Amino acid sequence: MLGVRSCATIAEAAGILSGDRQAVLLGGGTLVMRDVNEGRLTEGTLVRITDPAFRQMSTGGPRIELGAGVTMAQVLASREVAFLHPAARAIGGPAIRTMATVGGNLFAAAPYGDFTVALLALDAQVVLQAGYGSGRGVPLEEFLAGRDRGSVSGLVAGVQFSRPANQAEFHFRKISRVKPKGISVLSIAAHLPLQGGRAAQPRIAYGAMAPTPIRARGVERALDGKALDAAAIQAARQAALEGCRPATDAIASEWYRREVLPIHLGRLLAGEPR
């Protein structure tokens, strides 16, 4: 049978999860409760965290911190992180956004996980709490690489990242067949800081183009040090599929995702409306 245990602190929950392989963290419930309701999760303990720090946001300074229990609705309610609103709005409808959490989105399998794509483009770090010890920061890219291998240890307590110096240099685009809340065909996030009119260390990330969100390193190389003109955008489109391993699913085929990704990447880089 399933049991439920409430924890007053993040450290207490981390201690339970590290000592019990059948314990599962229950955040917003959009992933875990689906497994419960569909009969895939029938044994163990659901661990709830009542610690306010789990749902806190620190958005006033150059370094932004989002607790893992922060919901998409909370993100949308904060003007300080307006650049993340398109990514948060891409998560389901209003009812889902009141429950879906930042931490839960890190574990959403493709073609879900659009908010994580935005965090990857922002060079976010995941704060992991292992047992009763102190938290440690792990680059999101490293976290995602270990997620599906089961090599990630510790409770996700939150994420941290630097605020873009110019919020207009951060872009997010979700491509879906059903508007406004359809499941992603793919998603693209891009942080394109400019120095002297040229891209300086750009970061591009994709969703639904591999088992986890991935960096588009070929595109980053094509754009770095270049003005975002037609030639640079064409070079980025040619490099768009490097490292991609999209799946065929009920939403789109692998072929279709490969065909449309360069088109939508080019439109995003050119600043064309969605």
pLDDT tens sequence across 24-41: 898 998 889 888 898 888
Q: Which residue type, as a one-letter code, is found at position 49? A: I
Q: Is the pLDDT confidence value at 161 over 70?
A: yes
Q: Which residue type, as a one-letter code, is found at position 236? A: A
Model confidence band, residue 195 (pLDDT cutoffs 50, 70, 90): very high
Model confidence band, residue 244 (pLDDT cutoffs 50, 70, 90): very high
What are the E-state strand segments in the chain? Answer: 2-7, 23-25, 44-49, 57-58, 63-67, 125-129, 135-139, 155-162, 170-176, 184-191, 194-195, 198-199, 203-207, 214-215
Cα dihedral across residues 114, 184, 249, 43: positive or negative: positive
Model confidence band, residue 235 (pLDDT cutoffs 50, 70, 90): very high
Model confidence band, residue 106 (pLDDT cutoffs 50, 70, 90): very high
Give the mean pLDDT of the chain: 93
Alpha-carbon span 160 to 122, nearest angstrom? 9
DSSP code of residue 71: B
Percent of the chain with pLDDT over 70: 98
